[in-house]
Amino acid sequence: MIHKTAVIDLKANLDSSVEVGAYSVIGPEVEISADCQIGHHVVIEGPTKMGVGCRVFPFASLGLEPQDKKFQGERSHLEIGNGNTIREYATINRGTEVGGGITKLGDQGWIMAYCHIAHDCIVGNHITMSNGATLGGHVIVKDYANIGGLSGVHQFCRIGEYSIVGGQSMITQDVVPFAMAAGNRAKLAGVNYIGLDRKGFTSDEIDIINQAFKIFFKSGLTRDVAVIKLREEFPESAHIKMFADFIQSSERGVCR
């Protein structure tokens, strides 16, 4: 159902099952797939694509211009995957030409009230951002990451798979997969044991991850030597390969 007070541009493309609440505004080049629910007073500008089964709550603003002084009106995009929940006053901006022209949010995200996803961010699947969490431009958030309330992630940082960032933290370096990090500036707080257990990791898998953390963070080895040792010690572990690859590709360094 489309509320009679909603303003929807004739060039927007909405599936017939989409619901739009009162006073929402949907601009041209917006594509919204089946079974999405757009609450009242929501603003969505294009080019923006939204997948199946998303819920957008009142006063959220999606697909507006990036908050980047270098932006000169060039064409850029926002892509939102399937099954996302985007709560009140959340903002997700389009990309910039310098950053590749696109901001992405994967599937099954839980974006709580007042969160901000800035231009050119690439956000994975099944991520949680608690109230007021903010991603600076060009941030990468990997699958199943959890970012605590009122936390800020500096531009170009990465948050690894299955990691958790504590509330009111300031992230200025990459957070490795499977980790807990917290503080201003954030420091490593160990393995995310509870999160891994909840995601179905076995005790053996968690033990291997714990061993890997000890090698990298406590052995005193240099980064490159520690990564080589990780690959030699756990050649069959996909989790440790992901961990080692993440560290090796870090440009900002990792939280310790």
Residues 6+ apart with CB under 8 A from 218: none
Considering 39, 120, 154, 160, which one is annotated as catalytic? 120
Checking 105-110 for CB contacts under 8 A at 24+ apart, the result is 105/78, 105/79, 105/80, 105/81, 106/81, 106/143, 107/51, 107/81, 107/82, 107/83, 108/81, 108/82, 108/83, 108/84, 109/81, 109/83, 109/84, 109/85, 110/84, 110/85
137 is catalytic: yes
9 is catalytic: no
Considering 41, 116, 119, 154, which one is annotated as catalytic? 119
Considering 83, 137, 149, 195, which one is annotated as catalytic? 137
3 is catalytic: no
Q: What residue spans of the chain are helical by DSSP H? A: 193-198, 203-218, 223-233, 238-248
- CA dihedral sign, ordered 223, 228, 231, 232: negative
User: Mind telling me the catalytic residues?
Assistant: 119-120, 137
